[in-house]
Every structure is written in structure tokens, then in C-alpha cells.
Amino acid sequence: MLQTDSPPNTADTSAQSFAVIGIRQLKRELDKIHDIVLAAARHGVDDMSGAEIQKRYELIYGKRIDKGTVSARVKNLIDGRRLERCRIARPCLVTGRDIHPVRVMAQQTRLVG
């Protein structure tokens, strides 16, 4: 018998997740994670791993955030050009594993003309 139900693709799964959490909640999560990386940069931290972001989030907001949620929001922020992935790997300060951390995208401060 031929099965017609295929597994959901990433776009379907993302759309379902989006429908569940809603636009406002998604924006809040994106802004919180971006603000964590931005605040760290302002205090001399060049970049952060997902685990470092997760640890800082839980410290600041006093609630658990899933590793997958952090990863998804970081990807959203990279796709939206608010964060960028570093090319050079370094050990994560939480896990000790080599990772490619993220940092805030450099912003143009003035127009040259």
C-alpha cells in the first residue's frame, strides 16, 4: 500500500511553529536574543555561542529557554542580517566544544559621499 502522507518539510514545520507562538511572541524572542548579544558586545564580548546566549537569557529573564528555540531565533536573526556567524571557531565557554559563534552585524554609522 502506498502511503500518501509525507513527512513535513522545514518550511511546513516553521509555519506551524510560527502559527503557535505568534508574531508578537516571535518578535519578543528575537529582540531579547539580539539584545543579549548586543549588550555583550557593548561590554567587550566579541561573540557568543548558542549555549552562552541560552545561559545569559536564563540568568536575565529567570526562565528556561530551549536550546532549539535559541538556535532557531539565532538563525532568524542571521537571515534578517541582525547577527552574523563568525568564520573562526573557538571553544564555547559553557560546553567547551569548538563552535562558530555569532556577533552583531556591523552597522554603517554614516553615509560617505
Q: pLDDT tens digits for 60-86?
A: 999 999 999 999 999 999 999 999 999
State the chain's mean pLDDT as an integer. 87
Name the grid cell of 69: 528555540
Share of the chain above pLDDT 90, in %: 69
Tell me what pLDDT residue 12 has: 66
Q: Provide the whole-model pTM.
A: 0.77
Domain residue ranges in the chain: 26-104
Could you tell me the fold of the domain covering 26-104? Answer: Arc Repressor Mutant, subunit A (1.10.10)
28 — phi, psi (to 5°)?
Answer: -60, -45
C-alpha separations of 67 from 7, 42, 44, 53 in Å: 23, 24, 24, 9
Residue type, 14: S
Q: Which helix (H) or strand (E) element contains residue 95?
A: none
Query: Is the confidence at residue 22, as pLDDT, over 60?
Result: yes
